[in-house]
Amino acid sequence: MKIQKLHMEDWLADHQSVQYNLAESGFNDFSVGELLTLCDEDPAHLGNISLMNPDTRGSLGLRREILQCYQSAVIENILVTVGVTEALFAFFNVILEPGDEVIVEFPEFQTLYELPKALDCNIKFINLVTGNGFLPEPKNIRELITPKTKLIIINNPHNPTGSVLDRAEILEIGKIARENDVYLLFDEHYKFLPLEEGTRQLTSGFDICREVHHKVAAVGSVTKCFGLNGLRVGWLLADPQIIEACREFKHYLTHVTPPICDYLAERALQNKEKIIAHVKHIILKNLEHLNSFMERNQNRFEYTPPRGGLVCFPKLKNGQDGASFCRDMLNKHNISLLPGEVFGMNPYFRLNIGVKSDAFAAALQAMENL
């Protein structure tokens, strides 16, 4: 298997320790101590975690907590993985064959098209445009489908644009998948963070589309939305036969999730209301700041406010080059923004609203003065 490098990784690795890191895609990280405090958990319990290999599906306790996040899933629909990447890797390997066509949005988190491409599939892109709030149009999906189409991938909320499909739009895509008998995969890494005040987690495409189509799968995670990026716990939701096949595939990969990560992910999900309330308090304040910054700077940036997740994707006006803008921000102000070129979209940059409020405000101030 030959695979392209993940373009964003060099930039993220090289600029991890800048003063204001707004290039990442997760919420500012908690320490283990902070997480346990938020969960009212006695740190002494950490000492009791057994280091035996847990069930390769993930511990029963963690799978039960994941189940609580969905309406129509049963425990046999769940496989815990090391990061969402492993869930994607196993799922693609199980369902895709060389020559299959895969429909995926553009711009997009690179793994979602690079892995199918590495499996010799042909990729067809649904172009997302600002005028439509970066949402995939059902009519465009229909136009791309051929008898060779095997899979449609929808990333919702979307990285890097922050767009969110509503229930009716998701159902419409589900119906298209059913009519054409193709698999539908929802990447819902940011499911826990709709950005409307008061809205709790988003209903999964798995729950919405299972009403009309059985070839539906979803991936989710406890890392980015909960500020636990290094925990590397993700999951796949799919039909039990697919889950079993992915589990067999996973036996050749990480085999099990480390017990400490499994334990902390279970605690985090048990306390999801509290943790997400904490995260949302910070990011909604940052978003308010960002919206007024963008209002004041309309002449410099074309901006679609994010509706879910932690990132948005402003465009530079006046033909300015995204990469040189990001380098300027870095060199003059110690601020890291992710250049849009890593998504194949040069005049854009990705900006994370999940950083501490004082750092976020200071970074915006510096951008205003550039």
Among 111, 140, 203, 357, binds ligand PLP (CB under 6 A): 111
Q: In terms of DSSP bridges, do strands 101-106 and 149-155 run parallel, antiparallel, or are they unpaired?
A: parallel
Residue 234 found at the interface with ligand PLP (CB under 6 A): yes
Six-digit token string for 338: 């992710």
Q: Which residue is nearest to ligand PLP (CB)?
A: 83
Residue 110 found at the interface with ligand PLP (CB under 6 A): no
Binding residues for ligand PLP, how many (CB under 6 A)? 13
Each residue 284-323 as x (binds ligand PLP by CB under 6 A) or -, in order, gives ----------------------------------------
Among 77, 85, 156, 304, binds ligand PLP (CB under 6 A): 85
Residue 94 found at the interface with ligand PLP (CB under 6 A): no
Whole-number Å distance between alpha carbons of 215 and 242:
10
Among 54, 58, 83, 308, binds ligand PLP (CB under 6 A): 83
Residue 25 found at the interface with ligand PLP (CB under 6 A): yes
Angle at which helix 259-270 crosses helix 60-67, to 10 degrees, equals 30
Nearer to ligand PLP, 83 or 354 (CB): 83
Q: Which residues contact 135 (CB under 8 A, 6 or more apart)?
A: 128, 163, 165, 169
Q: Which residues contact 281 (CB under 8 A, 6 or more apart)?
A: none
Whole-number Å distance between alpha carbons of 69 and 190:
13
Nearer to ligand PLP, 223 or 271 (CB): 223
Six-digit token string for 283: 């990011």
Residue 226 found at the interface with ligand PLP (CB under 6 A): no
Each residue 167-206 as x (binds ligand PLP by CB under 6 A) or -, in order, gives --------------------x-x-----------------
Selected range binding ligand PLP among 77-85, 257-265, 322-330, 345-353, rule: CB under 6 A: 77-85
SS (H, E, C) the chain: CCCCCCCHHHHHHHCCCCCEECCCCCCCCCCHHHHHHHCCCCHHHHHHCCCCCCCCCCCHHHHHHHHCCCCCCCHHHEEEEEHHHHHHHHHHHHHCCCCCEEEEEECCCCHHHHHHHHCCCEEEEEECCHHHCCCCCHHHHHHHCCCCEEEEEEECCCCCCCCCCCHHHHHHHHHHHHHCCCEEEEECCCCCCECCCCCCCCCCHHHHHCCCCCCEEEEEECCCCCCCHHHCEEEEECCHHHHHHHHHHHCCCCCCCCHHHHHHHHHHHHCHHHHHHHHHHHHHHHHHHHHHHHHHCCCCEECCCCCECCEECCEECCCCCHHHHHHHHHHHHCEECEEHHHHCCCCEEEEECCCCHHHHHHHHHHHHHC
Nearer to ligand PLP, 83 or 308 (CB): 83
Among 109, 263, 301, 360, binds ligand PLP (CB under 6 A): 109
Selected range binding ligand PLP among 82-90, 95-103, 259-267, 352-360, rule: CB under 6 A: 82-90
Residue 28 found at the interface with ligand PLP (CB under 6 A): no
CB of 320 to ligand PLP, least distance (A): 26
Among 38, 84, 170, 367, binds ligand PLP (CB under 6 A): 84
Nearer to ligand PLP, 163 or 221 (CB): 221
Nearer to ligand PLP, 62 or 367 (CB): 62
Residue 134 found at the interface with ligand PLP (CB under 6 A): no
Among 77, 204, 221, 352, binds ligand PLP (CB under 6 A): 221
Nearer to ligand PLP, 59 or 257 (CB): 257
Nearer to ligand PLP, 341 or 367 (CB): 341
Please give the residue ranges that form the binding site for ligand PLP (CB under 6 A).
25, 83-85, 109, 111, 155, 159, 187, 189, 221, 223, 234
